[in-house]
A and B are shown apart, each in its own frame.
Chain A
Amino acid sequence: MCGIIGVIDRSRQCMDGSKIREALASMDERGSGEGSGYVAYGIYPDYKEYYALHVFFDNIREHKVPLEELLEKWGMIIHDEQIKTYEQPGLRKVHTPWRYFFRPNPSMMPKSTSPEEDIITSLVMKVNSERNGALIFSSGKNLGVFKAAGWPEDVANFYRIQDYKGYLWLAHNRYPTNTAGWWGGAHPFNLLNWSVVHNGEITSYGTNRRYIESFGYKCTMQTDTEVVAYLIDLLVRKHGLSEEMAVRAFAPPFWDEIDRMQKKDQELNQALRLAYGPALMNGPFAICVAKENLLCGFTDRIKLRPLVAAESGDRLFISSEEAAIRRIDDDVTNIRMPSAGEAVIGRLYA
């Protein structure tokens, strides 16, 4: 299981985290208290041009200085502070969350066409694979992931998620099945402005991982979901596919369906499956992906996990359960179950 919910306000009106917390907590049964998390976009307007790096330190004294030395080598720390947390009886604080607002130095990667993003990506991969007591779990601009091993309401209270105001939220309640629950394994997974929450399991993980690692990404979180964040970064940011096409590559039509398509569609879908065969994801999944201007939900191509979409004014909601959406807004309309493999996308108006 696992419970997910996402909401975007297309006119960029901000919502505080209190209702998201309630919605996620209403799906407590979908989790096991071993991982919950939230991501909010638009929370750092004063530092919006800098990368907000959220870091879990095992030990501040030992692990903070080496990370800062590395960051200073690749750019400049504009500001840093401990992420405020509030002790919860049901949650053991095993890491200290910290935030850095960081400006990478593009001259450090002269051959890259997107040096800032490549510096951030390589820093995240380096730090997280070396496991030196620091883990960068959030690395986008004007957004932040807040996660821990605990129940949705405890994790929300731990970070006082209601104090953050964002125009786009994702939240996840984890029921770990294949690997142990830990702070880094909680969702959302984030890289640059991409965030991912996922219910289910990706049985093609081995293939997907080998594929994505051949492009320099490193999978370090001991769970299948992070591969989705890297795949969408590769296909959309690096290769320039639309989000719709990326979802089509992840959960493509069956060959017999492609055979029945009109010639033009047929050629497109054949090309996509041939080019991105190793990005095809098998197994049961319902996934929500966010970046700074959109929310996108989709399921595996035989729809083995639930996903409901609904609208209210400028807001698009996507969740595992209709009732969770109604916890936030009971006046939703156009409640629907997206088709298997269909991308449901809400974009900012401007």
Chain B
Amino acid sequence: MGEVRINAKDMPYQALNQRVRALVASGEKDIILDNVLGQRFIGDGIRGEDVTITVNGVPGGDLAMFMSGPTVIVNGNADHAPGNTMDNGKVIIHGSAGDAVAHSMRGGRIYVRDNIGYRGGINMKEYQEKRPILVVGGAARAFLGEYMAGGLVIVLGVDGVTPVSERGVGSGMHGGEIIVRDRIDNTCLGGGAEQKKLTEDEKSAIRPILEDFVRTFTIDPDPIFSADYSKIVPASRRPFASKYTWE
């Protein structure tokens, strides 16, 4: 089957999402949504590894929430929490995204070409082979990876942008990793997190992810591969053990 296009202009999000779900149920693999403006919940809960939804415009919040398998490509900026509790699949954003990107994400990948808002990767988790990945080309704002329990966040700061220059990075994290180009100022480090230099071995381990990212957005790979990185990880498995419990 070929592509199916929907003109989403002035369409309420309920009607739009019902159309998308019906198309996916009927076996359509390539769905293109034109003139999207603020419609929420696009791609939520849909399944199927070979399904691609292209969003032309600026979608509303909670894009690809609970999604398991498909690829969502956004040609525009996304609002809050794309990839909220996403299970599997891929979200590619050719632009920036709002707050709480990859909120509670449990699997799959999110690539954001430009910047993300506050609390990117909040509450991300992982379990056995499920390891969610969020890669940001530009910069992230404060409280990146807040309460992270697993997964991987990479912030590249392409074109010399400082990856994170605000407070609370990894605040309260107890699992997962945040990798940033160069390093963050120690004053930006949140409570319970610590920063370490990324070793050559660790850098080679993320290279396939970076290769996929630069290929997706046609970014000059050399500055990215040649840069130094550091990782922000939990200082302990239970950073707030003594704060909330008495033993």
Seen from chain A, the residues whose Cβ lies within 8 Å of a Cβ on chain B are 26-27, 29, 254, 256-257, 260, 302-303, 306, 308, 321-324, 326-327, 335, 337, 339-340
A339: contacting residue among B59, B143, B166, B168, CB under 8 A? B166
A302: contacting residue among B96, B98, B117, B143, CB under 8 A? B143
Is the Cβ of B98 less than 8 Å from the Cβ of A327? no
Seen from chain B, the residues whose Cβ lies within 8 Å of a Cβ on chain A are 13, 37-38, 40, 58-61, 77, 79-80, 96, 98-99, 117-118, 141-143, 166-168, 187
A303: contacting residue among B13, B38, B142, B187, CB under 8 A? B142
Is the Cβ of B142 less than 8 Å from the Cβ of A323? no
Is the Cβ of A326 less than 8 Å from the Cβ of B187? no
State the Cβ distance, A307 to closest chain B Cβ, in Å: 10
Is the Cβ of A326 less than 8 Å from the Cβ of B58? yes
Identify the closest chain A residue to B58 (Cβ).
Answer: A323
Q: Which residues of A contact B117 (CB under 8 A)?
A: 303, 306, 337
Is the Cβ of A327 less than 8 Å from the Cβ of B166? no
CA distance A326 to B10 in the complex (A): 12
Q: Which residues of B contact A335 (CB under 8 A)?
A: 77, 96
Identify the closest chain B residue to A257 (Cβ).
Answer: B167
State the Cβ distance, B40 to closest chain A Cβ, in Å: 6
Identify the closest chain A residue to B80 (Cβ).
Answer: A306
Q: Which residues of A contact B142 (CB under 8 A)?
A: 302-303, 340
State the Cβ distance, A173 to closest chain B Cβ, in Å: 13
Q: Which residues of A contact B187 (CB under 8 A)?
A: 256, 260
Identify whether the interface residues of B are mostly helix, strand, loop, or mixed. loop
Is the Cβ of A340 less than 8 Å from the Cβ of B37? no
Is the Cβ of B79 less than 8 Å from the Cβ of A303? no
Q: Which residues of A contact B40 (CB under 8 A)?
A: 29
Is the Cβ of A322 less than 8 Å from the Cβ of B166? no
CA distance A324 to B236 in the complex (A): 43
State the Cβ distance, A112 to closest chain B Cβ, in Å: 44
Q: Which residues of B contact A340 (CB under 8 A)?
A: 118, 142, 166
State the Cβ distance, A30 to closest chain B Cβ, in Å: 9
Is the Cβ of A321 less than 8 Å from the Cβ of B118? no
Q: Which residues of A contact B167 (CB under 8 A)?
A: 254, 257
A322: contacting residue among B13, B77, B99, B168, CB under 8 A? B77
Q: Which residues of A contact B37 (CB under 8 A)?
A: 26, 323, 326-327
State the Cβ distance, B138 to closest chain A Cβ, in Å: 12
Is the Cβ of A323 less than 8 Å from the Cβ of B38? yes
Q: Which residues of A contact B58 (CB under 8 A)?
A: 322-323, 326
Q: Which residues of A contact B13 (CB under 8 A)?
A: 29
Identify the closest chain A residue to B41 (Cβ).
Answer: A29
Q: Which residues of B contact A327 (CB under 8 A)?
A: 37-38
State the Cβ distance, A4 to closest chain B Cβ, in Å: 14
Identify the closest chain B residue to A305 (Cβ).
Answer: B99
Give 10 CB contacts A-B under 8 Å.
Answer: A26-B37, A29-B13, A303-B142, A321-B61, A323-B38, A323-B59, A326-B38, A327-B38, A339-B141, A340-B142
Is the Cβ of B99 less than 8 Å from the Cβ of A303? yes
B38: contacting residue among A26, A256, A337, A339, CB under 8 A? A26
CA distance A322 to B118 in the complex (A): 16
